[in-house]
Structure 1
């Protein structure tokens, strides 16, 4: 029997375009906390250092805007996934990018999760756990239907594939 070893190659599928809005909103929440803390610091502290605090707030706002414009688009262009009868391929990240392959014969569990914000956007994540020391593969930003289909297909493929999942 000829067993093909999966090769490192770019996965074919992008995540849902809705992930762009989700990543933007999720990052906005963090920036709102930082900007809110700076505003509270400016209002509640003595007025002697206001000349420093206002420019600091402006710099924070510029960094926040740049992050919220660039990061979601960049992540969308990078994040990809693919499943084949032989392997699961993922590419994720934006500054630090991670490219992973998991042979189907090594799959131990396949899970799907949706946090409250992801549910609001109709998104889901799929986590493929193997015995790898690198940890599980995670496909984030999928539409709910695609995630459900992947979980079903990978579970069936893992059960049908001979291997010890280690």
Structure 2
């Protein structure tokens, strides 16, 4: 999908003093750089488990199937490549922005998703922090709307930024007219 193609929404946004239709566009803000370490650590833990299980099976079996040895070799090659590429790529893609009228998100790395939700449609704003996110000082925000596409999620935010953003969205939903449906 090209950014030159726009998808109009029924609500309006003010740009340079003029009201225009909301458009799907690249959001302005990146997530925290600490998200790179978080994504690397969580993916690394997954690869370590896969490699360890395969290694134990291959090393403790009297006659392991050859496909298990191949799988171990593939995991030992793909795991480090994944850890080098994925976190950097995700950091370049993950973005967010809140304007007076809408929340914009962009996420993913192989499968990328762009979302926009009018502030008037916001129903709840939640902050979550798993234990590893807490170690990295990160949080994720889930913005539930009346959309059948599901909630918007912004992950990899600095904890203080997430708190401020949740507060800002809460204040905006109080002042924007709409029924959130």
TM-score (norm 1): 0.94
Does structure 1 residue 76 correspond to structure 2 residue 123? no
Shift in Å at residue 52 of structure 1?
5.5
Residue matched to 2:6: none
Q: 1:96 aligns with which of 111, 116, 136?
A: 111
Q: 2:42 aligns with which of 26, 36, 59?
A: 26
Aligned residues: 163
Shift in Å at residue 58 of structure 1?
2.2
The within-5 A match list for 1:54-73 is 54-73=69-88
* Distance (whole Å) between structure 2 residues aligned to residue 113 and residue 53 of structure 1: 38
The within-5 A match list for 1:115-126 is 115-126=130-141
* Distance (whole Å) between structure 2 residues aligned to residue 90 and residue 130 of structure 1: 13
Structure 1 gaps of 5+ residues are: none
Task: Return the structure number with greater relative CO, CA threshold 8 A, min gap 6.
Answer: 1
TM-score (norm 2): 0.86
The question of whether the paired residues in 1 share the 8 Å contact of 2:127 and 2:163 is answered with: yes
Q: CA RMSD in A?
A: 1.3
* Distance (whole Å) between structure 2 residues aligned to residue 25 and residue 35 of structure 1: 15
Shift in Å at residue 130 of structure 1?
0.2
